[in-house]
Amino acid sequence: MKFSPLVQELIQSLKCLPGVGAKSAQRMAFQLLERNRVGGKKLAESLALAMEQVDHCHSCRNFTEQDICDICASPKRQENGQLCVVESPADVIAIEQTGEFNGVYFILMGHLSPIDGIGPEELHLDVLANRLANGHFNELILATNPTVEGEATAHYIAELAKQHNINISRIAHGVPVGGELEYVDGNTLSHAFSGRKNYL
């Protein structure tokens, strides 16, 4: 005994979402069918549209339905001469919200992870190398996550960029603003000490 074919198929399809197992998928299907048909139809439409039309920006590899995303298309951004490498589109949003950075981005869509079969090719580092060779950048800012994989990826990209006569920098490690020293982990604290700056 199972649910009716269409319901069964909907539950099965919902399981492709990350973090959604059999029970959650069932709950989602029932919720949409019973209480939110409008939302369900809307979701079906947005999904179909996005899966069909959204592609990667040819320049920075961010998700966009245009050939070139808005940031890459801006002449002001291009003139700035800074290129910031991040792991995900969400990182771009976070950096944009600070208002600190006015250059262009390159989004890796992940990090090097040989165990998952993600190597330089999967991160499209050839596109990045091309941009470094052809663009007139004066600084490459490595803003991958401060994790083991992120550090390894940053190191790999730095090695790759060395030949292009360009400043290579890494975002600073240190104590986060607003935290208490007591609760900061030892690794971060030792980074904060070794990276200390002259004050006044």
Piece of 59-67, 128-136, 153-161, 179-187 that binds a second copy (CB under 8 A): 59-67
**Residue 169 CA to chain centroid, in angstroms?**
19
- Token match 């074919």: residue? 5
Please report whether residue 189 would count as binding a second copy according to CB under 8 A. Answer: no
Within the chain, where are the H helices? 5-14, 22-35, 37-53, 70-73, 75-79, 89-98, 125-134, 148-161, 186-194
Q: What are the tokens at 198?
A: 């002259």
Across the chain, how many H-helices and E-strands are there? Answer: 9, 6
Indicate which single residue of 21, 33, 58, 138 sits in contact with a second copy (rule: CB under 8 A). 33
Closest of 83, 82, 85, 103 to residue 154, by C-alpha: 85
Piece of 83-91, 125-133, 170-178, 187-195 that binds a second copy (CB under 8 A): 83-91
Indicate which single residue of 54, 67, 130, 189 sits in contact with a second copy (rule: CB under 8 A). 54
Please report whether residue 129 would count as binding a second copy according to CB under 8 A. Answer: no
Please report whether residue 115 would count as binding a second copy according to CB under 8 A. Answer: no
Contact 83, 101 (CB under 8 A): no
Please report whether residue 53 would count as binding a second copy according to CB under 8 A. Answer: yes
Beta bridge partners of 105: 84
Indicate which single residue of 88, 102, 145, 188 sits in contact with a second copy (rule: CB under 8 A). 88
Please report whether residue 120 would count as binding a second copy according to CB under 8 A. Answer: no
Indicate which single residue of 21, 41, 169, 189 sits in contact with a second copy (rule: CB under 8 A). 41
Please report whether residue 147 would count as binding a second copy according to CB under 8 A. Answer: no
Minimum distance of a second copy from residue 115's CB (angstroms): 16
Closest of 141, 121, 140 to residue 132, by C-alpha: 140
Quick one: 10 or 140, whose CB is closer to a second copy? Answer: 10
Please report whether residue 21 would count as binding a second copy according to CB under 8 A. Answer: no
Closest of 119, 126, 108, 133 to residue 56, by C-alpha: 108
Please report whether residue 14 would count as binding a second copy according to CB under 8 A. Answer: yes
What span, in angstroms and rounded, lies between the C-alpha atoms of 19 and 134? 41
| Residues that bind a second copy in the complex, under the rule CB under 8 A | 1-7, 9-10, 12-14, 16-19, 24, 26-34, 36-37, 39-54, 62-66, 69-70, 88-90, 92-93, 96-97, 109-110
